[in-house]
Structure 1
Amino acid sequence: MQNSSAAAPRRSFDLTSSSFLIVAFLTGIAGALQTPTLSLFLTNEVHARPAMVGFFFTGSAVIGILVSQFLAGRSDRKGDRKSLIVFCCLLGVLACVLFAWNRNYFILLFVGVFLSSFGSTANPQMFALAREHADKTGREAVMFSSILRAQVSLAWVIGPPLAYALAMGFGFTVMYLSAAMAFIICGIIVWFLLPSMHKGKGATAGHIEAPRTNRRDALLLFTICTLMWGTNSLYIINMPLFIIEELHLPEKLAGVMMGTAAGLEIPTMLIAGYYAKRFGKRFLMRIAAVSGLLFYAGMLTVHTPFLLLGLQLLNAIYIGILAGIGMLYFQDLMPGQAGSATTLYTNTTRVGWIIAGSLAGVVAEIWSYHAVFWIALVMCVITSGCLMRVKDV
């Protein structure tokens, strides 16, 4: 009888862990179905000019930051995070339905982006809930979060090709409705299978002062992650044009390079999660920064397909460690505020896109696509300097 009763919680916990993995994958798929084809959708379906397409991305990032930070602070102060995730999934469904049938630029920008900002916040809130659950149950938080991050990366390996196949084969309406279905399934799993973490008044009061002691380090880490994601965004925006226009290499090479890096990021995240406790998060982030320096130095000097593909190992180490460890670093620097910490980390991606979107076109137009990698290299140097000053946890 004793063994039987002990086995029940283990089965329940395994079900909960599996549910977290599925939700991480589905929220990743929902994003990966929409983002890669957005510029194509705006150009072909909405008939937006190139400048308006760029403005749409910038506006999306700004609105997303405002919405996610508001929800993050609210989720840490009161309420059940699980209910908030379900609410975000529902608004994500509405956003997908709007994009599926509406073709008015300004409605999509102000209403669609507002709704989709809630939908995209489901992902960082899920990671915050996973951290709270891991802390409560005594599970190794670093490895568990790394596995969840790997699920999101897997979604981004599968999602973009699937998005293009759906959009080109069946139309954007089918593609956006597929993303809506991912949100619906995600919401159902969250509601029925993920745990509730209600916040008591005492716990809230006890954690109010914690972030203040780490505010300088959190700001430094925000700068570090923003610069790192900014360089990655510069690379994503600039690399295909650099490969085709300046190196005169086949177009498919750009896709192969991105796919290779995405595939290599998954084992990198898992390895980083395994060794984080032994070596510390700052040490791993330094390894990432060095890999970034070597990678962008390589992009400035290497111009053959074989070597460009080989460089993707450095790119995978750079982004894999950032994606797997960066969020956990924020959570450790901001104890008691998992939602705010996770959303702050997520917003470094958005700010990185704003910086990269502003720089990439200007630098390429004034100088060349090759010169953009010099900007990325300088940003990596600044990153390394900031990492010398941030506290280890």
Structure 2
Amino acid sequence: MLVSSTASFAALGVLSLFARDELGASDTMVTVNFVVVALASMAVMLATGHVSDLVGARRVIVPASLAWLGIGYAALASVRTYPAMLAVGVVFFCAVGVPNAQLMAYARDLVDRREDTAAPTVVIALMRIVLSVGSFTGFGISGLGLAYLGARPLFRVVAVVCLGCLALSWYLLRGHNTDATAPQPVKQQSTDDRRGAQKRTDGGTRLLLILVVVMVLFSSGRIMLLSQLPILVTVSLHAPLQMTGIVLALPPLCELALMPMMAYAALRWGRGKVFLVGGAASVAYYGGLVVVTTPGQLMLLQVVYAVFGAATVIAGLDLAQRLMAGRAGTATSIYLSHENVATVNGSLVAMASVATLGHQIGFLVPGALCLIALALATWAFIRHPDSSDLRHRPPRGQHPLIPAGTP
């Protein structure tokens, strides 16, 4: 995951400049490319997640998707027109989110074998930290690669790295001969038991879909942050250009420290409570952006935004996989698909908000969407306290990382 995510972010960091400077694409055309690829990626992620659960093919899907991406990056290095880049993106980069989603599902399969209720949450936190490190490393490499190699040679290097990840994943997954998703002997159940299990499954699926809608609303301001926060820093706050990079880098840096803390809090007080805390942080963040007047206040708000990212990622993904027990591939793919939908929705939110209210007051719109999402999540969690792990603190004397009943 570290190597593949580093390669993907390295290519992503130069894609916009490559399209504009070498292919003559406008800013609108670049945005359209990201939106179209996001929609294709969502469809492929959902399909592969379902297939991986149905036939237990995670160990095949991961190397195959890495090989497909390697071919795509090699093809991208040879395109000469914007339509060709768009076609390569739809055909090949629709699989960009598949390897990480399937590796997360495979990790869930492995830890579910252990009678340790803390293991899934801890593993999710560790894997998400790896992805954050990969994003830092990848964006750093993209700048150096663009300066010393150029976009096309960098794409070819990324293609080779994907093939290296293919070999590494094949070796890793082939070493586990017992597939966690292999069919298990079916125990005899009464009609009432089957009906009860089906009812719980249907309820979990509905709650998962609500969770995805909530995350789409929470994430709808992300595109606006990328486009308007630098303007807010330099125009409204009159800060130097160097401050822009520091402001953008602060939330992911803080998330590296906050994610283990949020994982511990989720185990101690419940995943639902941690998720709602993250939602409340997002409302406070966008509300603060509307009235912020100094760079110091903005830096403090960026730390608040890191609380939102760490809490919702850790608790949300863990809840999604718990809601569809035994179908980690489908649950992970459904949950992560909110990022693709949010890319499309966020582009519309950013255009409408900035055009009508301006680059600072416009943050009221994503703030209102986050408030709606927080209310919806609170309502759903209260209705399903067990499924959402909305619980009180553990009994006195019980350690949150030790399952109940352990001597």
> Once superposed, what is the RMSD of the aligned Cα atoms?
2.2
Moved more, 326-335 or 173-182: 173-182
Distance 1:147 1:94, change over 3 A: same
Of residues 222, 247, 255, the one that matches 1:265 is 255
Please give the alpha-carbon distance, in whole angstroms, between the structure 1 residues aligned to 2:339 and 2:75: 25
Residue equivalent to 1:227: 217
- Give the alignment partner of residue 169 of structure 1, picking from 145, 148, 154: 148
The reply on whether 1:118 has 2:128 as its aligned counterpart is no
Query: Would you say the 8 A contact 2:221–2:349 is kept in 1?
Result: no
1:58 maps to what in 2?
35
Name the stretch that deviates more: 205-214 or 141-150. Answer: 205-214
User: Residue 369 of structure 1 aligns to a residue in which SS?
Assistant: coil
Give the conservation status (yes or no) of the 8 Å contact 1:29–1:179.
no
1:144 to 118, 123, 128: 123
Give distance in 1, aligned partners of 2:316 and 2:162. 25
Point out the structure with max Rg over C-alpha.
2
Q: How does 1:51-200 map to 2 (within 5 A)?
A: 51-138=28-115, 140-194=119-173, 195=176, 196-200=179-183
Deviation at 1:250, TM superposition (A): 2.1
The amino acid of 2:307's aligned partner reads I
Deviation digits for residues 123-163 of structure 1 (CA, Å, limit 9, x no counterpart): 11110001101112446111011111111011112221221
| Long gaps (5+) in structure 2 | 390-407
Correspondence for 2:8: 31
Match of 1:321 in 2: 311
CA deviation after TM superposition for structure 1 residue 203, in Å: 6.6
- Supply the distance in 2 between the matched residues of 1:228 and 1:91 (Cα, whole angstroms): 31
Identity in percent: 21
d(CA) in 2 for partners of 1:228 and 1:181? Answer: 36
Letter in 2 for 1:199: A
Greater helix fraction, Structure 1 or Structure 2: 1
Tell me if structure 2 keeps the 8 A contact 1:82–1:197: no
Partner of 1:20: none
Q: Distance in 2 between matches of 1:178 and 1:314?
A: 37
Asked if 1:378 corresponds to 2:384, the answer is no
CA deviation after TM superposition for structure 1 residue 268, in Å: 1.2
Greater CA drift, 373-382 or 171-180:
171-180
Please give the per-residue CA displacement for 1:224-275, whole angstroms capped at 9, x wherever unaligned. 1111222233322321232234434322222111111111011111111122
Relative to structure 1, the CA distance from residue 203 to residue 27 in structure 2 (aligned partners, 3 Å threshold; closer, same or farther) is: farther
Deviations 1:298-336 (CA, angstroms, capped at 9, x unpaired): 211112122211222101101111222221111111112
Aligned residue in 1 for 2:227: 237
Does the Cα contact within 8 Å between 2:146 and 2:154 map onto a contact in 1? yes
For the 8 Å contact 1:25–1:152, the answer to whether it is kept is yes
**What amino acid maps onto 2:365 in structure 1?**
I
**How far does residue 202 in structure 1 lie from its aligned partner after superposition?**
5.0
